[in-house]
Structure 1
Amino acid sequence: MGRLNGKVAIITGGARGMGASHVRTFVKEGAKVMIADILEQEGQALANELGESAKFIKLDVTKGANWEEVVAETEKAYGPVNVLVNNAGISMNKSIEETSEEDYRRILDINQVSVFLGMKSVIPSMKKGNGGSIVNISSINGLVGGAIGYTDTKFAVRGMTKAAALGLSQYGIRVNSVHPGVIETPMIVQEDSKEAIKEFAKYIPAGRVANPEEVSNLVLFLSSDESSYSTGSEFVVDGGLTAQ
Protein backbone atom coordinates (compact mmCIF):
# COMPACT_ATOMS: atom_id res chain seq x y z
CA MET A 1 0.00 0.00 0.00
CA GLY A 2 1.38 3.41 -1.02
CA ARG A 3 2.01 6.06 1.59
CA LEU A 4 -0.07 8.56 -0.42
CA ASN A 5 -2.89 6.30 -1.57
CA GLY A 6 -6.03 8.35 -2.18
CA LYS A 7 -4.17 11.69 -2.06
CA VAL A 8 -4.49 14.36 -4.73
CA ALA A 9 -1.47 16.64 -5.09
CA ILE A 10 -0.41 19.74 -6.99
CA ILE A 11 3.35 20.11 -7.44
CA THR A 12 4.68 23.34 -8.92
CA GLY A 13 7.90 23.41 -10.89
CA GLY A 14 7.28 19.71 -11.39
CA ALA A 15 8.48 19.40 -14.97
CA ARG A 16 12.16 18.86 -14.21
CA GLY A 17 14.87 18.73 -11.55
CA MET A 18 13.82 18.36 -7.94
CA GLY A 19 10.16 18.92 -8.82
CA ALA A 20 10.12 16.00 -11.25
CA SER A 21 11.66 13.83 -8.52
CA HIS A 22 8.80 14.81 -6.19
CA VAL A 23 6.26 13.95 -8.89
CA ARG A 24 7.73 10.50 -9.54
CA THR A 25 7.93 9.74 -5.82
CA PHE A 26 4.32 10.78 -5.24
CA VAL A 27 2.99 8.69 -8.13
CA LYS A 28 5.01 5.70 -6.93
CA GLU A 29 3.41 6.08 -3.50
CA GLY A 30 -0.14 6.13 -4.85
CA ALA A 31 -0.97 9.83 -5.31
CA LYS A 32 -2.72 11.48 -8.24
CA VAL A 33 -0.54 14.41 -9.26
CA MET A 34 -1.13 17.59 -11.21
CA ILE A 35 2.22 18.72 -12.60
CA ALA A 36 2.05 22.52 -12.69
CA ASP A 37 4.83 24.28 -14.53
CA ILE A 38 5.50 26.90 -17.17
CA LEU A 39 7.60 24.38 -19.13
CA GLU A 40 4.98 22.74 -21.33
CA GLN A 41 7.07 20.29 -23.36
CA GLU A 42 8.93 18.82 -20.39
CA GLY A 43 5.85 18.78 -18.16
CA GLN A 44 3.71 17.00 -20.72
CA ALA A 45 6.45 14.47 -21.42
CA LEU A 46 6.64 13.60 -17.72
CA ALA A 47 2.86 13.25 -17.51
CA ASN A 48 2.87 10.95 -20.55
CA GLU A 49 5.61 8.86 -18.96
CA LEU A 50 3.65 8.40 -15.71
CA GLY A 51 0.26 7.60 -17.22
CA GLU A 52 -3.16 8.17 -15.68
CA SER A 53 -1.82 9.09 -12.25
CA ALA A 54 -0.33 12.35 -13.50
CA LYS A 55 -1.53 15.24 -15.65
CA PHE A 56 0.20 18.40 -16.77
CA ILE A 57 -1.17 21.93 -16.67
CA LYS A 58 0.63 25.14 -17.56
CA LEU A 59 0.97 27.46 -14.59
CA ASP A 60 2.44 30.91 -14.20
CA VAL A 61 2.86 30.83 -10.43
CA THR A 62 2.78 34.63 -10.22
CA LYS A 63 -0.83 34.88 -11.48
CA GLY A 64 -3.66 34.34 -9.00
CA ALA A 65 -6.24 33.65 -11.73
CA ASN A 66 -3.99 30.98 -13.21
CA TRP A 67 -3.75 29.32 -9.79
CA GLU A 68 -7.54 29.19 -9.53
CA GLU A 69 -7.69 27.45 -12.92
CA VAL A 70 -5.13 24.86 -11.79
CA VAL A 71 -7.10 24.02 -8.64
CA ALA A 72 -10.34 23.78 -10.60
CA GLU A 73 -8.79 21.48 -13.22
CA THR A 74 -7.22 19.30 -10.52
CA GLU A 75 -10.58 18.88 -8.78
CA LYS A 76 -12.21 18.08 -12.12
CA ALA A 77 -9.60 15.41 -12.90
CA TYR A 78 -9.01 13.85 -9.50
CA GLY A 79 -11.13 15.45 -6.75
CA PRO A 80 -10.33 17.86 -3.88
CA VAL A 81 -6.69 18.74 -3.33
CA ASN A 82 -5.00 17.10 -0.33
CA VAL A 83 -1.41 18.18 -0.90
CA LEU A 84 0.29 21.26 -2.33
CA VAL A 85 4.04 21.33 -2.87
CA ASN A 86 5.20 24.88 -3.61
CA ASN A 87 8.40 23.87 -5.36
CA ALA A 88 8.72 26.41 -8.20
CA GLY A 89 11.46 28.98 -7.82
CA ILE A 90 14.44 30.66 -9.41
CA SER A 91 17.91 31.57 -8.19
CA MET A 92 19.85 34.76 -8.79
CA ASN A 93 23.53 35.23 -8.09
CA LYS A 94 24.09 38.98 -8.23
CA SER A 95 25.44 41.41 -5.67
CA ILE A 96 23.08 44.00 -4.22
CA GLU A 97 24.88 46.61 -6.33
CA GLU A 98 24.26 44.64 -9.52
CA THR A 99 20.62 43.80 -8.74
CA SER A 100 18.10 46.03 -10.49
CA GLU A 101 14.62 46.79 -9.21
CA GLU A 102 13.25 44.64 -12.05
CA ASP A 103 15.50 41.72 -11.01
CA TYR A 104 14.40 42.04 -7.40
CA ARG A 105 10.68 42.23 -8.12
CA ARG A 106 10.90 39.23 -10.47
CA ILE A 107 12.49 36.93 -7.90
CA LEU A 108 10.07 38.24 -5.28
CA ASP A 109 7.07 37.34 -7.45
CA ILE A 110 8.31 33.87 -8.40
CA ASN A 111 9.80 32.74 -5.09
CA GLN A 112 7.61 34.50 -2.54
CA VAL A 113 4.32 35.85 -3.91
CA SER A 114 3.68 32.55 -5.69
CA VAL A 115 3.79 30.68 -2.38
CA PHE A 116 1.16 33.00 -0.93
CA LEU A 117 -1.03 32.59 -4.02
CA GLY A 118 -0.66 28.82 -3.99
CA MET A 119 -1.54 28.44 -0.33
CA LYS A 120 -4.52 30.79 -0.63
CA SER A 121 -5.86 29.06 -3.75
CA VAL A 122 -5.96 25.52 -2.30
CA ILE A 123 -7.68 26.36 0.99
CA PRO A 124 -11.28 25.95 -0.27
CA SER A 125 -10.40 22.64 -1.94
CA MET A 126 -8.61 21.30 1.15
CA LYS A 127 -11.58 22.28 3.29
CA LYS A 128 -13.76 20.03 1.12
CA GLY A 129 -11.42 17.16 1.93
CA ASN A 130 -11.36 17.97 5.66
CA GLY A 131 -7.73 19.03 5.71
CA GLY A 132 -4.47 18.67 3.88
CA SER A 133 -0.75 19.32 3.82
CA ILE A 134 1.13 22.22 2.25
CA VAL A 135 4.88 21.82 1.80
CA ASN A 136 6.80 24.97 0.91
CA ILE A 137 10.25 24.46 -0.54
CA SER A 138 12.59 27.05 0.94
CA SER A 139 16.37 26.57 1.15
CA ILE A 140 19.21 26.60 3.63
CA ASN A 141 19.30 30.25 2.57
CA GLY A 142 16.05 30.57 4.46
CA LEU A 143 18.15 29.88 7.56
CA VAL A 144 21.52 31.48 6.79
CA GLY A 145 22.68 34.27 4.50
CA GLY A 146 23.36 33.99 0.80
CA ALA A 147 22.69 35.92 -2.39
CA ILE A 148 20.51 39.03 -2.18
CA GLY A 149 16.97 38.44 -3.43
CA TYR A 150 17.18 34.66 -3.22
CA THR A 151 17.96 34.69 0.51
CA ASP A 152 15.27 37.29 1.18
CA THR A 153 12.56 35.27 -0.49
CA LYS A 154 13.59 31.99 1.11
CA PHE A 155 13.49 33.57 4.57
CA ALA A 156 10.04 34.90 3.65
CA VAL A 157 8.84 31.42 2.71
CA ARG A 158 9.90 30.22 6.14
CA GLY A 159 7.93 33.01 7.83
CA MET A 160 4.85 32.60 5.64
CA THR A 161 4.86 28.91 6.45
CA LYS A 162 4.65 29.59 10.17
CA ALA A 163 1.96 32.27 9.80
CA ALA A 164 -0.15 30.08 7.52
CA ALA A 165 0.24 27.07 9.79
CA LEU A 166 -1.23 29.03 12.70
CA GLY A 167 -4.11 30.33 10.61
CA LEU A 168 -4.99 27.07 8.90
CA SER A 169 -4.65 24.55 11.72
CA GLN A 170 -8.32 25.05 12.58
CA TYR A 171 -9.18 23.44 9.22
CA GLY A 172 -6.84 20.48 9.63
CA ILE A 173 -4.42 21.96 7.10
CA ARG A 174 -0.75 21.55 8.00
CA VAL A 175 1.97 23.79 6.59
CA ASN A 176 5.71 23.06 6.77
CA SER A 177 8.85 24.23 5.00
CA VAL A 178 11.70 22.16 3.59
CA HIS A 179 15.22 23.60 3.44
CA PRO A 180 17.48 21.77 0.98
CA GLY A 181 21.20 22.31 0.82
CA VAL A 182 23.21 21.47 -2.32
CA ILE A 183 21.20 19.08 -4.47
CA GLU A 184 22.40 17.25 -7.58
CA THR A 185 20.14 18.74 -10.22
CA PRO A 186 20.91 19.57 -13.88
CA MET A 187 21.56 23.20 -12.86
CA ILE A 188 24.61 22.31 -10.73
CA VAL A 189 26.10 19.38 -12.66
CA GLN A 190 26.80 21.29 -15.87
CA GLU A 191 30.37 20.99 -17.15
CA ASP A 192 31.30 24.52 -16.10
CA SER A 193 30.26 23.98 -12.48
CA LYS A 194 31.12 20.32 -11.84
CA GLU A 195 34.57 20.94 -10.42
CA ALA A 196 33.42 23.80 -8.21
CA ILE A 197 30.63 21.67 -6.75
CA LYS A 198 33.04 18.77 -6.22
CA GLU A 199 35.36 21.08 -4.30
CA PHE A 200 32.51 22.59 -2.25
CA ALA A 201 31.27 19.11 -1.27
CA LYS A 202 34.43 18.70 0.82
CA TYR A 203 33.03 21.28 3.24
CA ILE A 204 29.72 19.46 3.72
CA PRO A 205 29.88 17.23 6.83
CA ALA A 206 28.20 14.41 4.91
CA GLY A 207 30.97 14.68 2.33
CA ARG A 208 28.72 14.89 -0.72
CA VAL A 209 25.81 16.69 -2.32
CA ALA A 210 22.32 15.21 -2.04
CA ASN A 211 20.34 13.28 -4.60
CA PRO A 212 16.95 14.83 -5.47
CA GLU A 213 15.26 11.70 -4.13
CA GLU A 214 16.60 12.44 -0.65
CA VAL A 215 14.65 15.69 -0.64
CA SER A 216 11.62 13.98 -2.17
CA ASN A 217 11.55 11.45 0.65
CA LEU A 218 11.25 14.26 3.19
CA VAL A 219 8.53 15.97 1.13
CA LEU A 220 6.75 12.61 0.96
CA PHE A 221 6.82 12.26 4.75
CA LEU A 222 5.40 15.75 5.26
CA SER A 223 2.68 15.13 2.67
CA SER A 224 1.61 11.85 4.21
CA ASP A 225 -0.44 11.16 7.32
CA GLU A 226 2.76 9.97 9.01
CA SER A 227 3.56 13.62 9.83
CA SER A 228 0.09 14.37 11.20
CA TYR A 229 1.40 16.30 14.24
CA SER A 230 3.97 18.38 12.36
CA THR A 231 3.00 21.90 11.33
CA GLY A 232 4.63 25.31 11.27
CA SER A 233 8.10 23.79 11.27
CA GLU A 234 11.18 23.80 9.09
CA PHE A 235 12.82 20.56 8.00
CA VAL A 236 16.44 20.73 6.88
CA VAL A 237 18.06 18.35 4.39
CA ASP A 238 21.60 19.64 3.93
CA GLY A 239 24.07 16.96 5.04
CA GLY A 240 24.88 18.95 8.18
CA LEU A 241 25.95 22.10 6.32
CA THR A 242 24.07 24.55 8.55
CA ALA A 243 25.04 22.69 11.72
CA GLN A 244 28.61 23.96 11.47
Structure 2
Amino acid sequence: MDLSALFSLANKVAIITGASKGIGFGIAEIFAAAGAKVVISSRKQEALDEMATQLREKGYEVAAIACNVGRMEEMDNLVKQTIEKYGQIDILVNNAAVNPVFGPVHNTTPEAFDKIMDVNVKAPFHLMNLCFPYLRASSGASVINISSIGGISPEQGLGIYSVSKAALISLSKVYAKEWGDHKIRVNTICPGLIQTKFSEALWSNDKIMEHMMKALPIKRVGTSEEIGAMALFLASKASSYTTGATLTADGGFTI
Protein backbone atom coordinates (compact mmCIF):
# COMPACT_ATOMS: atom_id res chain seq x y z
CA MET A 1 0.00 0.00 0.00
CA ASP A 2 1.30 3.45 -0.96
CA LEU A 3 0.69 5.49 2.19
CA SER A 4 2.33 8.55 0.67
CA ALA A 5 -0.42 8.65 -1.98
CA LEU A 6 -3.08 8.24 0.71
CA PHE A 7 -1.94 11.42 2.44
CA SER A 8 -0.83 13.32 -0.66
CA LEU A 9 -2.34 16.69 -1.54
CA ALA A 10 -0.61 16.89 -4.93
CA ASN A 11 -2.54 18.95 -7.50
CA LYS A 12 -4.82 20.34 -4.78
CA VAL A 13 -5.35 24.02 -3.99
CA ALA A 14 -6.03 24.95 -0.38
CA ILE A 15 -7.18 28.25 1.15
CA ILE A 16 -6.32 28.69 4.82
CA THR A 17 -7.53 31.72 6.78
CA GLY A 18 -5.72 33.09 9.80
CA ALA A 19 -2.55 31.53 8.38
CA SER A 20 0.21 34.05 9.09
CA LYS A 21 1.00 32.39 12.43
CA GLY A 22 -0.07 29.76 14.94
CA ILE A 23 -2.39 26.93 13.97
CA GLY A 24 -3.12 28.36 10.53
CA PHE A 25 0.54 28.54 9.59
CA GLY A 26 1.15 25.06 11.02
CA ILE A 27 -1.58 23.69 8.76
CA ALA A 28 -0.25 25.62 5.76
CA GLU A 29 3.25 24.22 6.14
CA ILE A 30 2.05 20.63 6.42
CA PHE A 31 -0.34 21.00 3.46
CA ALA A 32 2.46 22.48 1.36
CA ALA A 33 4.80 19.65 2.37
CA ALA A 34 2.09 17.21 1.26
CA GLY A 35 2.14 18.78 -2.21
CA ALA A 36 -0.72 21.30 -2.10
CA LYS A 37 -0.65 24.75 -3.62
CA VAL A 38 -1.42 26.78 -0.52
CA VAL A 39 -3.10 30.17 -0.29
CA ILE A 40 -2.35 31.69 3.10
CA SER A 41 -4.56 34.52 4.25
CA SER A 42 -4.80 36.90 7.20
CA ARG A 43 -5.40 40.60 7.70
CA LYS A 44 -1.88 41.97 7.12
CA GLN A 45 -0.13 41.50 3.78
CA GLU A 46 3.30 42.23 5.25
CA ALA A 47 3.05 39.38 7.78
CA LEU A 48 1.76 37.04 5.08
CA ASP A 49 4.60 37.89 2.70
CA GLU A 50 7.14 37.11 5.41
CA MET A 51 5.64 33.69 6.12
CA ALA A 52 5.15 32.92 2.44
CA THR A 53 8.85 33.59 1.87
CA GLN A 54 9.73 31.10 4.60
CA LEU A 55 7.65 28.42 2.89
CA ARG A 56 8.93 29.19 -0.61
CA GLU A 57 12.50 28.86 0.63
CA LYS A 58 11.61 25.24 1.44
CA GLY A 59 10.45 24.72 -2.13
CA TYR A 60 6.71 24.99 -1.51
CA GLU A 61 4.09 26.61 -3.78
CA VAL A 62 2.46 29.41 -1.77
CA ALA A 63 0.37 32.49 -2.49
CA ALA A 64 -0.23 35.20 0.11
CA ILE A 65 -3.54 37.08 -0.12
CA ALA A 66 -4.57 39.50 2.61
CA CYS A 67 -8.17 39.19 3.79
CA ASN A 68 -10.03 40.43 6.83
CA VAL A 69 -12.78 37.80 7.16
CA GLY A 70 -14.85 40.32 9.08
CA ARG A 71 -15.42 42.08 5.75
CA MET A 72 -17.53 40.34 3.13
CA GLU A 73 -15.94 42.11 0.16
CA GLU A 74 -12.45 40.97 1.19
CA MET A 75 -13.56 37.33 1.25
CA ASP A 76 -14.98 37.80 -2.25
CA ASN A 77 -11.57 39.07 -3.34
CA LEU A 78 -9.76 36.16 -1.65
CA VAL A 79 -11.73 33.63 -3.67
CA LYS A 80 -11.47 35.67 -6.88
CA GLN A 81 -7.68 36.01 -6.62
CA THR A 82 -7.27 32.31 -5.79
CA ILE A 83 -9.21 31.31 -8.90
CA GLU A 84 -7.30 33.81 -11.05
CA LYS A 85 -3.99 32.34 -9.89
CA TYR A 86 -4.73 28.61 -9.64
CA GLY A 87 -8.08 28.04 -11.37
CA GLN A 88 -9.48 25.78 -8.66
CA ILE A 89 -10.22 25.37 -4.94
CA ASP A 90 -10.16 21.89 -3.42
CA ILE A 91 -9.64 22.51 0.29
CA LEU A 92 -10.88 25.28 2.57
CA VAL A 93 -9.69 25.70 6.14
CA ASN A 94 -11.65 28.23 8.19
CA ASN A 95 -9.17 28.98 10.96
CA ALA A 96 -9.38 32.75 11.47
CA ALA A 97 -11.02 33.66 14.76
CA VAL A 98 -11.26 36.46 17.32
CA ASN A 99 -11.82 36.68 21.05
CA PRO A 100 -11.63 40.33 22.16
CA VAL A 101 -12.87 39.61 25.70
CA PHE A 102 -11.75 37.41 28.58
CA GLY A 103 -13.91 37.36 31.68
CA PRO A 104 -17.51 36.88 32.86
CA VAL A 105 -20.03 36.52 30.06
CA HIS A 106 -22.25 39.25 31.51
CA ASN A 107 -19.43 41.75 30.90
CA THR A 108 -19.43 41.06 27.15
CA THR A 109 -20.68 44.09 25.24
CA PRO A 110 -23.10 43.75 22.31
CA GLU A 111 -20.33 45.08 20.06
CA ALA A 112 -17.93 42.35 21.19
CA PHE A 113 -20.66 39.73 20.79
CA ASP A 114 -21.28 40.83 17.20
CA LYS A 115 -17.57 40.86 16.34
CA ILE A 116 -17.04 37.34 17.72
CA MET A 117 -20.04 35.92 15.87
CA ASP A 118 -19.23 37.76 12.63
CA VAL A 119 -15.67 36.43 12.43
CA ASN A 120 -16.07 33.01 14.06
CA VAL A 121 -19.40 31.94 12.52
CA LYS A 122 -20.65 34.26 9.79
CA ALA A 123 -17.31 34.42 7.97
CA PRO A 124 -16.94 30.61 7.63
CA PHE A 125 -20.56 30.48 6.45
CA HIS A 126 -19.94 33.11 3.78
CA LEU A 127 -16.58 31.73 2.66
CA MET A 128 -17.94 28.19 2.33
CA ASN A 129 -20.73 29.53 0.15
CA LEU A 130 -18.29 31.51 -2.01
CA CYS A 131 -16.11 28.42 -2.49
CA PHE A 132 -19.02 26.06 -3.16
CA PRO A 133 -18.97 26.17 -7.01
CA TYR A 134 -15.26 25.35 -7.04
CA LEU A 135 -15.42 22.71 -4.30
CA ARG A 136 -18.27 21.03 -6.17
CA ALA A 137 -16.05 20.79 -9.25
CA SER A 138 -13.18 19.19 -7.28
CA SER A 139 -12.49 15.47 -7.29
CA GLY A 140 -11.68 15.51 -3.57
CA ALA A 141 -13.20 18.53 -1.86
CA SER A 142 -12.73 19.03 1.86
CA VAL A 143 -13.72 21.82 4.24
CA ILE A 144 -12.10 21.90 7.67
CA ASN A 145 -13.45 24.27 10.29
CA ILE A 146 -11.28 25.00 13.32
CA SER A 147 -13.47 25.14 16.39
CA SER A 148 -12.31 24.64 20.00
CA ILE A 149 -12.91 22.40 22.98
CA GLY A 150 -14.87 25.42 24.21
CA GLY A 151 -17.39 24.56 21.51
CA ILE A 152 -17.96 21.21 23.22
CA SER A 153 -18.01 22.48 26.80
CA PRO A 154 -17.80 26.23 27.61
CA GLU A 155 -14.45 27.44 28.88
CA GLN A 156 -14.26 29.78 31.85
CA GLY A 157 -13.72 33.37 30.80
CA LEU A 158 -14.42 32.53 27.15
CA GLY A 159 -18.22 32.57 27.20
CA ILE A 160 -19.30 34.02 23.86
CA TYR A 161 -16.19 32.66 22.16
CA SER A 162 -17.33 29.20 23.32
CA VAL A 163 -20.83 29.91 22.02
CA SER A 164 -19.41 30.86 18.62
CA LYS A 165 -17.33 27.70 18.45
CA ALA A 166 -20.33 25.55 19.36
CA ALA A 167 -22.23 27.25 16.55
CA LEU A 168 -19.37 26.47 14.16
CA ILE A 169 -19.56 22.77 15.04
CA SER A 170 -23.29 22.80 14.30
CA LEU A 171 -22.77 24.76 11.08
CA SER A 172 -20.22 22.19 9.94
CA LYS A 173 -22.66 19.34 10.50
CA VAL A 174 -25.37 21.15 8.55
CA TYR A 175 -23.03 21.62 5.58
CA ALA A 176 -21.78 18.03 5.83
CA LYS A 177 -25.34 16.75 5.48
CA GLU A 178 -26.32 19.10 2.68
CA TRP A 179 -23.09 18.88 0.68
CA GLY A 180 -22.67 15.11 0.80
CA ASP A 181 -24.52 14.77 -2.51
CA HIS A 182 -21.99 17.17 -4.02
CA LYS A 183 -19.09 15.01 -2.75
CA ILE A 184 -17.84 17.77 -0.46
CA ARG A 185 -16.76 16.64 3.00
CA VAL A 186 -17.03 19.05 5.95
CA ASN A 187 -15.35 18.31 9.29
CA THR A 188 -14.35 20.14 12.45
CA ILE A 189 -11.22 20.12 14.58
CA CYS A 190 -11.48 21.17 18.22
CA PRO A 191 -8.03 22.04 19.54
CA GLY A 192 -7.35 22.17 23.23
CA LEU A 193 -4.64 24.35 24.71
CA ILE A 194 -2.16 24.99 21.88
CA GLN A 195 0.88 27.21 22.35
CA THR A 196 0.09 30.07 20.01
CA LYS A 197 -0.05 33.85 20.37
CA PHE A 198 -3.86 33.63 20.23
CA SER A 199 -4.03 31.47 23.37
CA GLU A 200 -1.24 33.22 25.27
CA ALA A 201 -3.69 34.58 27.86
CA LEU A 202 -4.28 30.95 28.88
CA TRP A 203 -0.89 29.21 28.70
CA SER A 204 0.94 32.19 30.23
CA ASN A 205 -1.40 32.17 33.26
CA ASP A 206 0.12 29.98 36.00
CA LYS A 207 -3.20 29.41 37.74
CA ILE A 208 -4.93 28.28 34.54
CA MET A 209 -1.98 26.08 33.61
CA GLU A 210 -1.99 24.40 37.01
CA HIS A 211 -5.69 23.58 36.58
CA MET A 212 -5.13 22.33 33.02
CA MET A 213 -2.20 20.09 33.92
CA LYS A 214 -4.25 18.41 36.64
CA ALA A 215 -7.01 17.68 34.13
CA LEU A 216 -4.81 16.59 31.18
CA PRO A 217 -3.92 12.92 30.67
CA ILE A 218 -1.15 14.16 28.32
CA LYS A 219 0.40 16.77 30.57
CA ARG A 220 1.68 19.36 28.17
CA VAL A 221 0.52 22.11 25.85
CA GLY A 222 -0.12 21.06 22.24
CA THR A 223 1.61 22.35 19.10
CA SER A 224 0.38 23.85 15.85
CA GLU A 225 2.02 20.99 13.96
CA GLU A 226 -0.18 18.48 15.80
CA ILE A 227 -3.29 20.32 14.60
CA GLY A 228 -1.78 20.47 11.12
CA ALA A 229 -1.32 16.69 11.07
CA MET A 230 -4.97 16.16 11.96
CA ALA A 231 -5.99 18.64 9.28
CA LEU A 232 -3.90 16.72 6.73
CA PHE A 233 -5.86 13.56 7.56
CA LEU A 234 -9.14 15.40 6.99
CA ALA A 235 -7.94 17.03 3.76
CA SER A 236 -6.57 13.85 2.20
CA LYS A 237 -7.91 10.58 0.81
CA ALA A 238 -7.14 9.01 4.19
CA SER A 239 -10.45 10.44 5.48
CA SER A 240 -12.52 9.87 2.33
CA TYR A 241 -15.38 8.30 4.34
CA THR A 242 -15.33 10.95 7.08
CA THR A 243 -17.73 13.90 7.08
CA GLY A 244 -19.62 15.75 9.79
CA ALA A 245 -17.02 14.63 12.33
CA THR A 246 -15.85 16.65 15.31
CA LEU A 247 -12.30 15.62 16.19
CA THR A 248 -10.52 16.78 19.34
CA ALA A 249 -6.79 17.37 19.70
CA ASP A 250 -6.67 18.35 23.35
CA GLY A 251 -4.41 15.99 25.25
CA GLY A 252 -7.49 14.19 26.56
CA PHE A 253 -8.98 17.23 28.31
CA THR A 254 -12.53 16.45 27.13
CA ILE A 255 -12.48 12.81 28.22
Where relative contact order (Cα < 8 A, 6+ residues apart) is larger, the structure is 2
- Determine which of 13, 16, 19 is the counterpart of 1:14: 19
The offset of 1:60, in angstroms, is 1.4
CA shift in 2, pair 1:71/1:188, >3 Å: closer
Aligned to 2:95: 87
1:125-151, Cα deviation, whole Å (9 max, x unpaired):
112224500000000011101222101
Does the 8 Å contact 1:205/1:241 carry over to 2? yes
The reply on whether 1:160 has 2:160 as its aligned counterpart is no
Does the 8 Å contact 1:38/1:58 carry over to 2? yes
1:126 aligned partner, one-letter code: L
Q: Distance in 2 between matches of 1:226 and 1:57?
A: 29
The offset of 1:80, in angstroms, is 0.8
The offset of 1:215, in angstroms, is 0.8
Aligned to 2:130: 121
- Determine which of 64, 70, 82 is the counterpart of 2:72: 64
TM-score by length of structure 1 reads 0.93
The offset of 1:242, in angstroms, is 0.6
Does the 8 Å contact 1:202/1:208 carry over to 2? no
Aligned to 2:216: 204
The offset of 1:191, in angstroms, is 11
1:170 aligned partner, one-letter code: D
Does the 8 Å contact 1:71/1:125 carry over to 2? no
Does the 8 Å contact 1:130/1:171 carry over to 2? no
2:134 aligned partner, one-letter code: S
- Determine which of 81, 85, 104 is the counterpart of 1:77: 85
1:61 aligned partner, one-letter code: V
* Structure 2 runs not aligned, ≥5 long: none
Aligned length in residues: 243
Q: Distance in 1 between matches of 2:50 and 2:159?
A: 34
1:229 aligned partner, one-letter code: Y
Q: How does 1:8-47 map to 2 (within 5 A)?
A: 8-47=13-52
The offset of 1:96, in angstroms, is 2.1
Identity %: 33
Q: 1:217 is paired with a residue of what secondary structure?
A: helix
The reply on whether 1:102 has 2:111 as its aligned counterpart is yes
Q: Distance in 1 between matches of 2:106 and 2:252?
A: 31
The offset of 1:29, in angstroms, is 0.9
Q: 2:231 is paired with a residue of what secondary structure?
A: helix
Q: Distance in 2 between matches of 1:220 and 1:131?
A: 13
Does 105-114 or 50-59 show the bigger shift? Answer: 50-59
Aligned to 1:195: 206
CA shift in 2, pair 1:191/1:211, >3 Å: closer
Q: 2:19 is paired with a residue of what secondary structure?
A: coil
